[in-house]
Amino acid sequence: MKFDPPLTTATLIQRYKRFLADVRFDDGTEATAHCANPGSMMGLAEPGSVLWLSKSDNPKRKLAWSWELVDVGTSLVGVHTGKANALVEAAIIGGDIQELGGYETLRREVKYGENSRIDLLLEDPARPMAFIEVKSVTLSRKKGLAEFPDSKTARGAKHMAELAEMAKKGHRAVVFFLVQRSDCNHMQPAADIDPKYAESLKEALAAGVEVLCYSCRLSPKEITLDRRLEVAI
């Protein structure tokens, strides 16, 4: 996924109300940017951090700037959770995820379960449908270890239960953890942050849900999938 037009650098003044971030550009001017990340962003929102922002030309948007990347020293980190689905979709279409290859069609945001929508649905006449739930992972508190979630998520446990139901019905059900950073080599649930989610993930695996986890290569020019990571449940 390429950034077009190119991103603009800035310094973080503060993140507040979850979805807002005050930033200072290199020329000294300041602006409020949209932060498309509902999590705690633990370790990613320190005042003074170097950021990369995209700008929208849509006159209907209240905030023209969007926070895309942050430099944490060991890696750039993609903080825009909305980009995760598109990154995984592009990688599937491009044949970069061998485990999810060979399907005829791909659909987004398809209704299923109890008033939910699955992020991606793969279909092919010759095989079971594949229901894919994408999770954007940014937390790393220990060198080399990615963790999810970075805050409690009631919806996350609900999604795991619904994926488990799909697996029980004979479909493929996949939770895809996309680690939007390059400095991690394995991943595990953050059980101390959300024990209910960690338990729901174990139960989903026992029901037949598959787990995939990939890291990303990130630069101010583009984000692409990198390699598969091991997951310890």
The mean of the pLDDT values for the chain is: 97
Q: Residues 185, 142, 43, 148: is their CA dihedral positive or negative?
A: positive
- pLDDT, tens digit, 9 for 90 and up, residues 117-144: 999 999 999 999 999 999 999 999 999 9
The reply to whether 83-231 shares the fold of 8-75 is no
- SS in 3 state form for 127-187? EEEEEEEEEEECEEEECEEEEECCCCCHHHHHHHHHHHHHHHCCCEEEEEEEECCCCEEEE
**pLDDT of 155:** 87
Reported in sequence order, the residue ranges of the chain that DSSP labels E, i.e. its strands, are 8-16, 20-25, 30-34, 50-55, 65-71, 76-78, 105-112, 116-124, 127-137, 139-142, 144-148, 172-179, 184-189, 210-218, 223-228, 230-231
Instruction: Determine the CATH number of domain 8-75.
Output: 2.40.50.580
Q: What is the pLDDT of residue 115?
A: 81
Please give the sequence-ordered ranges of beta strands (E in DSSP) within 57-100, or none if there are none: 65-71, 76-78
Domain ranges of the chain: 8-75, 83-231
CATH fold for domain 83-231? Trna Endonuclease; Chain: A, domain 1 (3.40.1350)
pTM above 0.75, yes or no: yes
Burial class from Cβ neighbours inside 10 Å (0-12, 13-18, 19+) for residue 133 reads buried
* 68-123 confidence digits (pLDDT tens): 999 999 999 999 999 999 999 999 999 999 999 999 999 999 999 888 899 999 99
Eight-class DSSP state of 229: -
Decide if pLDDT at 37 tops 90: yes
Distance CA 13, CA 70 (A): 13
